[in-house]
Structure formats: C-alpha cells, structure tokens
Chains A and B, each alone.
Chain A
Amino acid sequence: QKEVEQDPGPLSVPEGAIVSLNCTYSNSAFQYFMWYRQYSRKGPELLMYTYSSGNKEDGRFTAQVDKSSKYISLFIRDSQPSDSATYLCAMKGGAQKLVFGQGTRLTINP
C-alpha cells in the first residue's frame, strides 16, 4: 500500500463548479500537508501549505485536513478554465522526506 493515495482522474467539470480533490494517507506521523499545481509541461508550483488539522483558505482555494480520518482535501470554488492542471498532494512528518501523491488531472470546461 502506498503511503499517499490520490485518484489520478481525469476529472472534468464545467466552469463555475466547485471542485473537490482528495488524498488519503496511512502514516499517522504526517503533520505538514501541501498542494501543488502543475500546468502541462511545467514544474509543480506550491499552491497551499497547512500544518496539522483544520482548514486554510486562500481566495477561491480551501485546503482541509482531517487527521483522524487521514484524509486531506482541496476545494476550488467558482472554477475557471485557467484552473485546468494536475494537482498533487504532498505531505511529511517532522524531518521525514516529502511524499507526493500521484496527482489528479483536472479539466475545467468553458
């Protein structure tokens, strides 16, 4: 079993929809959680960074961590075609290596 599981999709939604992207993990030591966005033929860029449980909001993006369920989510409100990209979750505990999910390919249709 992989330490981090992420549905690779692809996920296709209409413009303006609320998008939910998710990852599950098995390592209870994970405390730091990140979401990266990767446009086609580009490198990943850090989108959201959260520590421990709870929610963090940044504009149209909300990152949610539920440590009891070992489940993290990224919500995108009022989705735009420019949000079309691959979204990767990443997480770590303490000084441990960063572990990435497989990435979910998202397409927002105008």
Chain B
Amino acid sequence: NAGVTQTPKFQVLKTGQSMTLQCAQDMNHNSMYWYRQDPGMGLRLIYYSASEGTTDKGEVPNGYNVSRLNKREFSLRLESAAPSQTSVYFCASSLGAWTEAFFGQGTRLTVV
C-alpha cells in the first residue's frame, strides 16, 4: 500500500526555472494538501484541495499554483523559482477536510 507518493524526491533548480511537483494518493481520500517545511518555521500550508474540483490558498501561496487533476492527484507548480522557495515540500491527504492527514516522503528542492 503506497499511501501518498511524491515525485521527484530531490531537485535542484536555477533561479527563474519552472517545475511541477507531483503527488498521488491511493487511499481514496477526498482532501489533499501541499506544505513546505523550513527550519524554525514548522509546516506551512501552501494550497489545499478540500475535494476534487476545488482548490484554495493556504498560508503561503505566493509563487505557487496547484492543479487537482483528479481525485488521486494534486500537483504543485513553481512558475519562476526563487531562492526563497528552497525548502522541503510535503504533500498530504485526508479522508475528509482537515481530518487526520497522511504525508508523503517529501521533495527536497534547492533553488540556486
């Protein structure tokens, strides 16, 4: 049982480049989330999708876009990467909105 799968696991980007982080869950969950984790800042919510077809901004949405492709998949796009976006990104899913969340293994992104 894979749970929440994120790709890639590691990525180095140059400033100004774009990329998409992929996330898929196989638990038939309705809600999905993107967080970033930085030292001393804890987990901060970037965007979330309470249900298929809906997306909403979280605490730190600037510089990001998301797509809820279907019930299983929720992608995060950086259109023009900046060094401030260097972080570890976690995708999570839950059966209902804001119920117990299950996390992926994370994507370590460095922007140089």
Tally chain B residues at the interface, Cβ within 8 Å.
19
Give bound CA distance, A45 to B97, whole Å: 18
Whether, in the assembled complex, B40 has its beta carbon less than 8 Å from a beta carbon of chain A, the answer is yes
Residues on A with C-beta less than 8 A from B106 are 41-43
A98→B98 contact, CB < 8 A:
yes
Secondary structure dominating the interface of A: loop
Looking at chain A, what size class is its interface with the partner chain? 20 to 34
Mark the stretch among B13-21, B41-49, B62-70, B79-87 that contacts chain A. B41-49
18 A-B pairs within 8 Å (CB atoms) are namely: A6-B42, A8-B40, A42-B105, A43-B4, A43-B90, A43-B105, A45-B103, A46-B100, A88-B42, A92-B98, A95-B98, A97-B58, A98-B98, A100-B42, A100-B43, A101-B42, A102-B40, A103-B42
- List residues of chain A with CB under 8 Å of any chain B CB: 6, 8, 34, 36, 41-46, 49, 88, 92, 95-98, 100-103
